[in-house]
Structure 1
Amino acid sequence: MRDLFITGLIFSLLPFVFRRPWLGILLWSWLGYMNPHRLAWGFAYNMPFSMIVGAVTILAFMASREKKDMPWTREIFVLLLLTGWMLFTTFFAFYPALAWLEWNKVWKIMLMVLLTTLIINERYKLHWLMWVIVLSFGFYGVKGGIFTIINGGVYRVQGPTGTFIAGNNEMALALVMTVPLIRYLHLQEPRKWVKIGLATAMVLTGVAAIGSQSRGGMLAMAAMGLFLWVKSRNKIVTGFYMAIAVAVMASVMPQAWYDRMNTIKTYQEDQSAQGRINAWHTAFNVAKDRITGGGFDMFRPPTFRQYAPDPWNVHDVHSIYFEMMGEQGFIGFALFMLLGVLAWMRARQIIKRCKRDPEQKWAADLAAMIQVSLVGYATAGAFLGMSHFDLPYHLMIILVLAAKFSGALGKVAPAPAGVHGRGLPHPASRFGTENAGPRA
């Protein structure tokens, strides 16, 4: 029954994608982030829904009369360079079959991320996209938070199998990145009952991230929480929500959780930590030896035999930085880091330009919360190999769109407050604006 429902829902939405291609971006994002088909157990589990939706979206967009205007910013150029470099290194990968298999996933992600800049061409569409991202991960955040509280934190919060967020560490990273995005929607929302729901979701998502029992997730929560408080426009309210999350955590988490977190201080005695450090040395040695790195999925026993300080301690790299360095060499690593720096600079530009403008304050809020989300990614990613996770790339592109719609790019004037798309309201009329009245 679940398979029939999910399949019927997705295929019933495809005709709407033909009429409005931007709905295809929303549907693709929902499939990519929530992976609803992975919650089924029958034929829908392995159906290529994302590929189908992506193909329909591209065809619909190419056939539409909408203006195809790509904002050629520095972030777009670097993202294209990074994607091209990853293709180039795949030709010289240690394990070609595995590398091309991974490349087949990566290029599709990058294509849809880039298409977002073309298809999401109005602010209200961007606002809907943010809702889809938040609801997709928020589903697991709310569910996982309740699960953690009911079970006293004994069991780990994990995601659906066969997805980016399947493991507890991966789920922790996604949830940490989601908390500030929920806060952004909370700031824009004028309806009290929705604000209460978003605040509750924010607390439960934080509890779920802790309930994953990921040590990297714990460090990311601490870094993200501190930065969230610093960036918040209402530090009292933000501090209140954070205090609730900490109180819930302290009251439900078992002693085993505290013991696990305390191993961070004694990483020298932890075999898992030592295995990661050995893999990091391996990545550095490969990048030093080969300009193209080892290619996708290079962390295999033969690689360790040749490049690791301890050739018999084979371990996953568990770091976005060393994963990119080992697989793509120093050039790929430099492009990856440059993309993050440029995104941070873009967010600062938006905040500076828009924070004092009541009509464009939404963009400053969004930029600030994406900065907080990227802090969570940068911290948790230091201990987790998710350098190809689509969410951070999507958020970097969303910053470009926020700059475009707010006028911060200096080329595109922001749309008037009353302008909205056909059939769906602009956020200014329904989802909340800076003039919607007092907010927390």
Structure 2
Amino acid sequence: MLDLALAGFIALVMAIGFRRPFVWVLAYLYVDILAPGKMGYTIMPAIQISLITFLAAFAGWMLADPKKGARFTLRQGIMVVLLFYCWWTTSNADFPEFAATKWEWVWKALFFAIFLPLTITTKLRLESALLVMLLSVAAIVISAGIKIVLGGGGYENNLFFVNDNSGIYESSTLATVAICSIPIVIWFTKYGTIFKPDWRVKLFAAALIFACFLIPVGTEARTGLVCIAVLMVLALRDVKRRLTFIVAGATIVFVALPFLPQSYYERMATLGSTDGDESASTRLAVWGWTFDYANENPTGGGFDAFRGNSFTYNMPIREEQGNTMAVEYREVTDEGRAYHSAVFEMLGEQGWPGLFIWLWLHALGLWQMERIRRKWRKKQGNGEGEGEEWVAPLATALQYAQIIYLVGSLFQGIAYQPYVLMLIGLQCALWTYSKRLHAVAAEKARESKVRESDTNTKPMLGSPSPAHV
């Protein structure tokens, strides 16, 4: 029954796409984030819906989209360079079979992020893409939040639609994505037009934000707690009453503390020290190994190059002996440990050139969003940009989402996370759209000056013309 419902819904969306091909782009966003192919048992896994929607989105744009206003940006060019560089390192990978498996989804995520801005040429399309992405994440977050409230959650517990600990369904990844989506949710409560921001939208948004905050608690993902702290710091930039905001936030935290499970406290306690925590200890060892490996192999070892690591370290083990706590150091040998950091993931797999490209891509995005934010706020302050009040807040929301992701990615190997690459694509689209708006406004200003100049130089009725003077 579940297969039929999912297949029927997707078939309906694909049918609508024959009349509005951009719907196929939205269909791919939905499919790639939510992964309905993993939810079914018979029909959905067999029809390869991700590939179908991917091809439909591209073919629909090529054959039927007017392409008016589509521009290719510098950041898209950077992603093209990264795409071909990853292809080259994959062909020379240390572990070809594993590298080929990861390449199968990485190239598609990068290619779609490059392609997405070309399809988004209007505000309606930009908002539609952002809304579909947000609601797809919301479907996962809300269902997981309900399970957390009813069952209490827990580290590595199955809280999601699928029994799969990869992609967005990995607990730390979902915690990061959930928190970085909150600024976008807030933007829709003020500037959304598809769903007017009335009391129903605001009520749903408040519930969704609460569910997003539940994800780090229910999954006991330490990265999620760090992302929440980053979000709170970023929020101080825009709130009018900062002291009130800080006091309110602290009050909510103190009220919530008694309701948190003991297992959450125990797991969060490992944030401050690596002693006694094998996960944190191995991360430091892997990062050291990766740095040395990159110095010996400057161009990286291709995808999953971490499978070649091996290291030995002393692990402190605490044991209770009566009323005292004894600490014993045991030698631990580990190998094939993942990077647990997007920075070291890029460094180990793509070397120093790949890491530079990746950092350049994100740094340029932060700069572009900041430029849009300041330029359009200045326009609104001068009484310009009427009807475009949404531009600066959206740039801020996308910038905050990216910052939260970047902080969270320091502790996870999510350098190629498709959802984040989609956000980068939307940033490129917003950058192009804002430049086009600015060009139109400048052209109108020039025309207005020309008309005023013609009016001022036109001879008054009854006055002698220049020819008679």
- TM superposition score normalised by structure 1: 0.86
Distance verdict in 2 for CA 1:270–1:52, change over 3 Å: same
Cα pair 2:370 2:395 within 8 Å, conserved: yes
Distance 2:143 2:110 in 1: 29
Residue number in structure 2 paired with 1:284: 291
Distance 1:138 1:118 in 2: 26
Residue number in structure 1 paired with 2:301: 294
| One-letter amino acid matched to 2:223 | G
Asked if residue 171 in structure 1 is aligned to residue 174 in structure 2, the reply is: yes
- Structure 1 range deviating more: 367-376 or 41-50: 41-50
List gaps (5 residues or longer) in structure 2.
Answer: 314-331, 381-385, 445-469
> Which of 267, 275, 286 is equivalent to 2:282?
275
Cα pair 2:37 2:48 within 8 Å, conserved: no
Q: CA deviation at 1:46?
A: 5.5
Distance 2:259 2:178 in 1: 19
Q: CA deviation at 1:257?
A: 0.7
Residue number in structure 1 paired with 2:270: 263
Aligned partner of residue 306 in structure 2, secondary structure: coil
Asked if residue 335 in structure 1 is aligned to residue 357 in structure 2, the reply is: yes
| One-letter amino acid matched to 2:334 | N
Distance 1:53 1:412 in 2: 34
| One-letter amino acid matched to 1:48 | Q
Q: CA deviation at 1:53?
A: 0.6
Q: CA deviation at 1:217?
A: 1.5
Residue number in structure 2 paired with 1:419: none
Distance 1:412 1:285 in 2: 52
Q: CA deviation at 1:52?
A: 0.3
Q: CA deviation at 1:70?
A: 4.3
Matches within 5 A, 1:116-195: 116-154=116-154, 156=157, 158-159=159-160, 160-162=162-164, 163-189=166-192, 190-195=197-202
| One-letter amino acid matched to 1:254 | P
Asked if residue 304 in structure 1 is aligned to residue 326 in structure 2, the reply is: no
Q: CA deviation at 1:158?
A: 4.4
TM superposition outliers: structure 1 runs of 4+ over 6 Å: 233-241
Matches within 5 A, 1:350-429: 350-356=372-378, 357=380, 358-407=386-435, 410-411=438-439
Percent pairwise identity: 24
Distance 1:10 1:265 in 2: 46
Post-superposition Cα deviations, 1:278-309, rounded to whole Å, max 9, x if no partner, equal: 11122212211113201001111xx114xx56
Cα pair 1:26 1:129 within 8 Å, conserved: yes
Aligned partner of residue 312 in structure 1, secondary structure: strand
Q: CA deviation at 1:80?
A: 1.2
Aligned partner of residue 313 in structure 1, secondary structure: strand
List gaps (5 residues or longer) in structure 1.
Answer: 417-440
| One-letter amino acid matched to 2:340 | H
Cα pair 2:175 2:221 within 8 Å, conserved: yes
Cα pair 2:68 2:121 within 8 Å, conserved: no
Distance 2:246 2:41 in 1: 41
Distance verdict in 2 for CA 1:390–1:68, change over 3 Å: farther
Distance verdict in 2 for CA 1:92–1:68, change over 3 Å: farther
Distance 2:439 2:83 in 1: 26
Aligned partner of residue 66 in structure 2, secondary structure: coil
Distance verdict in 2 for CA 1:317–1:27, change over 3 Å: same
Cα pair 1:157 1:208 within 8 Å, conserved: no
Residue number in structure 2 paired with 1:436: none
Higher Cα Rg: structure 1 or 2? 2
Distance verdict in 2 for CA 1:398–1:206, change over 3 Å: same
Residue number in structure 2 paired with 1:209: 216
Could you say what the CA RMSD is over the residues aligned between the two structures, in angstroms?
2.7
Asked if residue 228 in structure 1 is aligned to residue 235 in structure 2, the reply is: yes
Distance verdict in 2 for CA 1:157–1:201, change over 3 Å: farther
- Structure 1 range deviating more: 315-324 or 140-149: 140-149
More strand by share: 2
Distance 1:2 1:240 in 2: 46
Residue number in structure 1 paired with 2:206: 199
Distance 1:245 1:111 in 2: 42
Cα pair 1:224 1:376 within 8 Å, conserved: yes
- Structure 1 range deviating more: 330-339 or 394-403: 394-403
Q: CA deviation at 1:37?
A: 3.2
- Structure 1 range deviating more: 20-29 or 58-67: 58-67
- Structure 1 range deviating more: 68-77 or 197-206: 68-77
